[in-house]
Amino acid sequence: MAVATRPPRGRPQRRWGPAFRRNLTAYGFLSGALICFAFFSWYPMLRGFVLSLQHNNFVDPPEWVGLDNYRTVLADPVFQTAWVNTLVYTLLALLCGYVVPFVVALVLNELRHARGYLRFVVYLPVMLPPAVAVLLFKWFYDPGPGLFNQVLGLVGLPGLSWLDSSSTALISLVLVSTWMNLGTGTLIYLAALQSVPGELYEAAELDGAGFFRRIWHVTVPQTRLILLVMLLLQVIATMQVFIEPYLLTGGGPEDATMSVVYLMYQYAFVYDDFGAGSALGVMLMLVLMVFSAAYLRFSRDDPQERS
């Protein structure tokens, strides 16, 4: 008895044509984004890396010098000072600029009256151009008619040399940065807080949890992803501090506010050594890449990130 067998079925062939036409609009938007990233992000990074290996004044033909620019930067006595100042500034900015907006958002989230008005007041400094805000604080810090010393005089305290003393100059810059970025951080935290289900707080209250225990056991776990993202953005932004030392102190007094980016600016536009400035920029980029890789590794195990 003959047994009928089914002829072998070949592997189904994919039809790329209909799928491509169906996603043509998406490819168009994606190509636009890729072109923008290529011209404004990837090409400057690649050009900066090549420039760090050259002696180039943009007039004469560039000369390939290998790692000499990196050796020049590493031998600079200000190099270590700039990195220490940047790391200290980052730590202080995290203590002030990361914690304070979260606390303000918690307070605003608990309020029942005038919430919209207070949000506007908190966000108001963000509307000022950064240069205007920095110059406003330059008047606040003035040792003569400055606002801060006048307030200290009203309570019987001696005035301070805010920007002229190496012991207070760096923390003065941190206060400026915290005030300028307070509104943005607060609104982001506030949006994250309002996405937390109210049933969780009610269950915690029924279990007898107080305010701080509700914050620790409900708010922090529910907003963990936003907190991690804001931490990464805060570190990246504060390690690139430039406008505050540029407009307020010029890196002084005695290099107390010299940051890595301000030293990079001096190499490029004061000493006309674009190669050394680019070498310093590559070093900073590598450090920030390490922070970003640590964030990706840490957030990979986050169940909110996987979802």
Q: What is the 3-state secondary structure (H, E, C) of 170-213?
A: HHHHHHHHHHHHHHHHHHHHHHHHHCCCHHHHHHHHHCCCCHHH
Distances in Å between the Cα of 75 and the Cα atoms of 68, 71, 94 are: 10, 6, 30
DSSP string, 45-59: HHHHHHHTTEE--SS
Geometric angle at alpha carbon 180, from 265 and 113, rounded to 5°: 170
- The pair of structure tokens assigned to 37 is 């990233």
SS3 152: helix
- The answer to whether the CB of 64 falls within 8 A of the CB of 148 is no
**Residue 63 backbone phi and psi in degrees, to 5:** -115, 130
Per residue in 210-222, is it b (16+ CB within 10 Å) or e — as a string?
eeeebeeebbeeb
- The answer to whether the CB of 275 falls within 8 A of the CB of 54 is yes
Query: Token pair 């790391």 is at which residue?
Result: 87
Q: How far apart are CA 67 and CA 29, in angstroms?
A: 40
* Domain locations along the chain: 77-305
**Residue 113 backbone phi and psi in degrees, to 5:** -130, 150
pLDDT band at 250 (very low <50, low <70, confident <90, very high): confident
- The pair of structure tokens assigned to 105 is 């958002």
- The pair of structure tokens assigned to 97 is 């600029």
Which CATH number does 77-305 carry?
1.10.3720.10
- Residue 252 CB contacts under 8 Å (≥ 6 apart), including other chains: 169, 258
Range with the largest mean pLDDT of 11-15, 88-92, 124-128, 194-198:
88-92
- What is the DSSP-derived secondary structure letter of residue 38? I
Q: How far apart are CA 47 and CA 285, in angstroms?
A: 13
Query: Token pair 């050594």 is at which residue?
Result: 273
What mean pLDDT do residues 133-157 have?
A: 86
Q: What is the mean pLDDT of the chain?
A: 84
What mean pLDDT do residues 144-155 have?
A: 85
Kind plus residue range of the DSSP H or E element containing 11: none
pTM equals 0.81
Confidence (pLDDT) at 86: 93
What mean pLDDT do residues 149-155 have?
A: 87
Nearest one of 119, 131, 171, 130 to 148, comparing CA atoms: 171
Confidence (pLDDT) at 1: 44
Range with the largest mean pLDDT of 75-89, 149-163, 186-200, 224-238:
75-89
CA-based torsion, 295, 301, 306, 307: positive or negative? negative
Checking if the pLDDT of 93 tops 80, the result is yes
Checking if the pLDDT of 302 tops 70, the result is no
Checking if the pLDDT of 94 tops 70, the result is yes
- What is the DSSP-derived secondary structure letter of residue 64? E
Confidence (pLDDT) at 217: 85
